[in-house]
Amino acid sequence: MPESCTYIARSSAIAARALAGEMMVMNSADSTFFTLNEVATAIFQAADGHTPLREIVRDRICPQFDVDPEQAQTDAEQFVAELSGHGILLVSNEPLSAETNRETSR
Amino acid sequence: MTGTPNVACVEIGGIPIALSTSDDGFLDLLRQRYGGFLSSSRPEFELEFDLTSSAPVSADDVRVYRETNNTNTDDEWIFERGDFRAHWDPRTGRGRVRQNSNPYSLDSVLRILHSLILAERGGFLLHAASAICDGRAFLFAGVSGAGKTTMTRLAPSEITLLTDEISYLRPSPKDGGYSAFGTPFAGELAKSGENCAAPVSALFFLEQGPENRIQELSSAGAVRRLMRNILFFAEDRVLVEKLFATAYDFVDTVPVRRLTFYPDTGVWDLVRKFDPNFEGNSGRDFERHFEGVPEHA
């Protein structure tokens, strides 16, 4: 049985800005505000809806930040779950259009 | 007693808003509450109040959204909480509010309306105390308990209090900076600010500590703290993006520092002497971490 893929996309309800390597994100639906560190920012920026999360970790996170692949994958999944819970990222086991409206994924 | 609608024009931050009601008691209440901010200017906006005897002040979250979900930026705004519901049409500048006669509901409605108007004009409301000292406005921001009211209580008598709770900031085209205006929105001090304005000289994020000290903040740290203290309610991505742009511009324009203070009057000596052109670089704050700490504006 093939390994299932996780795809992530940024919600269209958010506004985001980067400054000095730090990404700041605000969800306009509830005014929640987040700041992301460099690793989280790299995942957030790569959340195009059609690149699997495992590929993002393998091709972007591990080489860029010199981290253990298994640990990076676990951390990335945790991060994605947290931002998904706040409506910042959308998660699916099928490709998504980037910046999808939060409601359309439910 | 009720009758023909009566109007009081309340001008906060240089933006006159006509408040009308047919309830004489409510009109008296708002004239008293906003006494220092009554104006004879021609109103830019109008709010008409319908009073209801039900709906006590609510602890529910406020919601501010456009009535339709399309991308038309001229759609009517709805502000609602358990104790009020308002419609406001940005095209006509007119709105209608249904609430009880509680002044806290009135304050909330006015703050929301001003936050929307300011967001379009490059300004914002900040959870901060502010005061004018030697012709310059200083802002003191922080979470509840950080010391905003303490700073205003420690202020020398010649200081003009703009607010101990909600600061009102607008860009100042004349000098390319920002101006702080007094507001009637009081906090623990239970005292309205003075109805005047001055150019902003600095924004300090307060922390209480064993000594009085001013430290630099990184730009990212300053924007992050600023965003967490801006009062913003609208469920609207375009306005949130404008707010980000404003916050970045503010941090670019106005010195933003961390002020650790021991609660004595000496802290005001430090504030008065503050000059961003003559300060050391020690204590620069390079905080970098992921913070999953949502804060409701």
Q: For residue A17, what pLDDT is reported?
A: 92
B215 CA to chain A: closest CA distance, Å?
19
Q: What pLDDT sits at residue B55?
A: 62
Are residues B256 and B240 part of one domain?
A: yes
What distance in Å separates the CA atoms of residue B27 and residue B10, rounded to the nearest whole number? Answer: 12
How much is the CA Rg of chain B, to the nearest whole Å? 20
pLDDT at position B75: 85
Chain A positions touching B223 (Cβ under 8 A) are 19, 24
pLDDT 10s per residue in chain A (106 long)? 455 799 999 999 999 998 887 899 999 988 889 999 888 999 999 999 999 999 999 999 999 998 899 999 999 999 999 999 999 999 999 998 756 544 333 2
Q: Do B244 and A28 touch (CB under 8 A)?
A: no
B286 at interface of A, judged by CB pairs closer than 8 A: no
> How many CB atoms neighbour CB B149 within 10 A?
20
How near does any CA of chain A get to the CA of B275, in Å? 25
Which one of B244, B289, B293 has the shortest CB-CB distance to A15? B244
Q: Supply the DSSP symbol for B270.
A: H
**Chain A (42-61) residues lying within 8 Å, Cβ to Cβ, of chain B:** none
Does B80 reside within a domain? yes
Tell me, what CATH number does A25's domain have? 3.90.930
Contact (Cβ atoms closer than 8 angstroms) between residue B63 and residue B79? yes
3-state helix, strand, coil in chain B (%, to 5): 25, 35, 40
* A106 touching B (Cβ < 8 Å): no
> In whole angstroms, what is the distance from residue A72 CA to residue A60 CA?
11
Q: Which residues of A44-56 are buried (b: 16+ CB within 10 A; e: fewer)?
A: bebbbbebbbbeb
> What pLDDT does A101 receive?
46
**Given an 8 Å threshold on Cβ–Cβ distance, is A30 in contact with B292?**
no
Give yes or no for B166 touching A (CB within 8 A): no
Give the list of residues 6+ apart from residue A45 with CB closer than 8 angstroms, or none.
A23
Q: Indicate whether B88 and B147 sit together in one domain.
A: no
Could you give the number of structural domains in chain A?
1
Contact between A86 and A32 under an 8 Å Cβ cutoff? The reply is: yes
Q: Is A33 in contact with B237 (Cβ distance < 8 A)?
A: no
8 A C-beta contact, residue A70 and residue A22: no
Question: Which of residues B91, B121, B151 is at a domain's end?
Answer: B121
* Strand pairing report for A89-92 and A7-10: antiparallel
Q: What is the mean pLDDT of residues B26-51?
A: 95
Let me know how many helices (H) and strands (E) chain A has, helices first.
4, 6
Q: Are residues B75 and B111 in the same domain?
A: yes
- DSSP reduced 3-state for B94: strand
Nearest-by-CA chain B residue for A13? B237
Q: B60 in contact with A at a CB cutoff of 8 Å? A: no
Q: Is B153 found in the same domain as B111?
A: no
Total number of domains in chain B: 2
Q: Is residue B296 part of a domain?
A: no
Q: Has residue B290 got a pLDDT over 80?
A: no
Using an 8 Å Cβ cutoff, are B136 and B201 in contact?
yes
The whole-angstrom distance between A13's CA and the closest CA on chain B is 6
A77 in a structural domain: yes
Residue B143 pLDDT > 50: yes
Q: What is the pLDDT of residue B294?
A: 38
DSSP string for B197-208: EEEEEEEEEEEE
Q: Are residues B267 and B157 in the same domain?
A: yes
Q: How far is A46 from chain B (nearest CA, A)?
A: 17
